[in-house]
Amino acid sequence: MKKILVAGAGGFIGGHLVGSLISQGHSVKAVDKKPLENWYQIHQNAENLVLDLNDLNNCRTSADGTDIVYNLAADMGGMGFIEAHKAECMLSVLINTHLLMAAREKNIERFFFSSSACVYSALKQTRTDIVPLKEEDAYPAMPEDGYGWEKLFSERMCRHFREDFGLKTRVARFHNVYGPYGTYDGGREKAPAAICRKVVQAKIGGGKNIDIWGDGHQTRSFMYIDDCVKGTQMVLNEDSIEPINLGSEEMVSINQLVDMVEEIAGIKLNRNHDLTAPQGVRGRSSDNTMMREIYGWEPTHTLMSGLEKTYQWIFDEISSGKKSF
């Protein structure tokens, strides 16, 4: 069993990863800058630390005595957040840079960096019927402004720490992860959670309408959290050294996503399309060829099955009066 640092453990993916690692018998040091009461999940069997990992000394403290680092820490959210907070998103480069420096100093065995599909060139994502994105499509570079540039730069930092210093770095590009125990309001939520929240509110409050950002024809693929956590650990533990896609190939339009949540809820709403709202690229989906060939990994959750679990959790949260951080 290993002593493992999960950076960003108070976040959505980080909380699920900590739980998975503990269930396997690992000793986990969980670190996030948010106050503990704002963590999405708190695992009592972990060593839970509140530290700002923008600071190099805090990264040294966090990495000390550990064997493996998972870096999931970043200042980010859905499209509404990252389009309005480009500088804040780019400042996350300090987290990965300082964690890499600390990992080298502490002789960490392996280092995982969570990148994003936002690294892919905008020129490859101009149509709703997009060809699924291959890993090579990140170059020539034209990533999402702010957040995407930070992720692409940090990927290169991982590569050069591996080449120059021998640190075993691994990188996966996450494609739209969703599921329970994440944010569903407040401005940082992503499309599946936002749509579930709006449908839940209409269901509970007797509403007849739903607001949708854009014309609803923009396309995406969405990966359920359990598949993400499993794939993340596979990438960390194996020997593929290049950034690799971790996502679903089940592409849908936003209108189709709304259809599915309405079906789960058993209601039908009138749609108000806000063409002035942030929309991101026109189309995006993952090509999982490398994950299949190298790891034999495929998502086990269909979008509908994952949405059913996500919707029920958000319904329970809202109906019980809890708040989303």
The reported pLDDT for the residue numbered 78 is: 81
Domain ranges of the chain: 3-175+223-246, 178-220+251-319
Per-residue model confidence as pLDDT tens for the chain (325 residues) = 999 999 999 999 999 999 999 999 999 999 999 999 999 999 999 999 999 999 999 999 999 999 999 999 998 888 888 888 999 999 999 999 999 999 999 999 999 999 999 999 999 999 999 999 999 999 999 999 999 999 999 999 999 999 999 999 999 999 999 999 999 998 889 999 999 999 999 999 999 999 999 999 999 999 999 999 999 999 999 988 899 999 999 999 999 999 999 999 999 999 999 999 988 899 999 999 999 999 999 999 999 999 999 999 999 999 988 765 4
CA angle 299, 72, 32 (to 5 degrees): 135
Which tokens in the block code for residue 66?
A: 């550990």
Q: Does domain 178-220+251-319 have CATH number 3.90.25.10?
A: yes
Which tokens in the block code for residue 285?
A: 């989906």
DSSP state of 131: P
Which tokens in the block code for residue 187?
A: 């401005």
Do residues 82 and 144 lie in contact, with contact meaning Cβ atoms separated by under 8 Å? yes
Each residue's pLDDT tens digit, 227-286: 999 999 999 999 888 999 999 999 999 999 999 999 999 999 999 999 999 888 999 999
> In this structure, are strands 251-253 and 219-221 parallel, antiparallel, or unpaired?
antiparallel
- Distance from C-alpha of 314 to C-alpha of 288, rounded to nearest angstrom: 29
- Distance from C-alpha of 64 to C-alpha of 44, rounded to nearest angstrom: 20
Same CATH fold assignment for domains 3-175+223-246 and 178-220+251-319: no
- HEC profile of 269-291: CEEEEECCCCCCCCECCECCHHH
- Distance from C-alpha of 223 to C-alpha of 299, rounded to nearest angstrom: 7
pTM value?
A: 0.95
Q: Classify each residue of 54-75 as buried b or exposed e, where b means 16 or more C-beta atoms within 10 Å of its C-beta.
A: beeebbbbbbeebbbbbbbbbb
> In this structure, are strands 68-71 and 110-116 parallel, antiparallel, or unpaired?
parallel
Q: Which residues contact 198 (CB under 8 A, 6 or more apart)?
A: 210, 211
Q: Which of 40, 70, 147, 311 is catalytic?
A: 147
Cis peptide before 140 (omega within 30 of 0): yes
The reported pLDDT for the residue numbered 323 is: 60
40 classed as catalytic: no
DSSP state of 55: S
* Helix intervals (H) in the chain: 12-23, 56-63, 79-84, 86-90, 93-105, 147-165, 191-205, 225-237, 254-265, 289-295, 303-319
| CA-CA-CA-CA torsion sign (286, 126, 144, 157) | positive
> Any bridge partners for residue 111, and if so which?
69, 169
Domain 3-175+223-246: which topology? Rossmann fold (3.40.50)
